[in-house]
Amino acid sequence: MERPNRRLRTILAADAVGYSRLVGTDEEGTLERLRAIRKEVIDPVMAAHRGRIVKTTGDGLLAEFASVVDAVRSAIDMQRAMVESNAGLAPDRRIEFRIGINLGDVVVEDDGDLMGDGVNVAARLESMAEPGGICLSGAAYDQVRGKIDIAAHDRGRQQLKNIAELVQVYALSPAHPAAAAPHAAVAPRLSIVVLTASWV
């Protein structure tokens, strides 16, 4: 049996919050706006931080990075750009993303797709993030601690669905860097200035 092609990669998983509701309210308008977000926000941010979009779905994407710092900067720029994009819109018209980031071993398929727990953990972290927020695994956080100036909130060791081991989780709040999450221990601040960059 041929051995799988493995590599250590930083995985970013993103998903649009309330996608079904938005499409149900205004299908054409939502899809048009998602296409604009892909062109004006996602693609430029990924290019600026050397990310590769592995695949997209109607409401989300999976990307890989060689550097955790690049992945986190990409997520921060994306979330901050979405705050600007949503400015002036009614709450029920806003498109917000949840993002999860993990550093892990992945299997590379012949078509370039990525598989394995390294990917699954990122997807589970994404589902834990607040709208407009970012969740990191402990493995990813260890690589950016002291390198990025943003508040990180320690959410402790979490049992993620279909993941055998407990995963240490940290939450970032890019729209409000200094705001502490209620009832959360604040981890040491992550100290490089993050540039803000201005789906399918």
pLDDT of residue 197: 30
pLDDT of residue 2: 78
Query: Considering all CA atoms of the chain, what is the largest pairwise distance in Å, rounded to the nearest integer?
Result: 57
Helix H, strand E, coil C: the string for 63-80 is EEECCHHHHHHHHHHHHH
d(CA 9, CA 119): 9
Identify the CA nearest to 76 among candidates 160, 32, 133. 133
| Contact status, residue 60 vs residue 15, Cβ threshold 8 Å | yes
d(CA 119, CA 13): 8
In angstroms, how far is the first alpha carbon of the chain from the final one? 37
pLDDT of residue 175: 54
| 152 CB neighbour count, 10 Å cutoff | 24
pLDDT of residue 189: 43
pLDDT of residue 177: 39
DSSP-assigned beta bridge partners for residue 128? none
Question: Residue 83: phi, psi to the nearest 5?
Answer: -60, -45
| Contact status, residue 152 vs residue 171, Cβ threshold 8 Å | yes
Stretches where the chain sits below pLDDT 70 are: 174-200
pLDDT tens column, 146-197: 898 888 999 999 999 988 899 999 999 765 433 333 333 434 444 323 322 3
pLDDT of residue 93: 87
Q: Domains of the chain: which residue ranges?
A: 5-187
Q: Does domain 5-187 have CATH number 3.30.70.360?
A: no
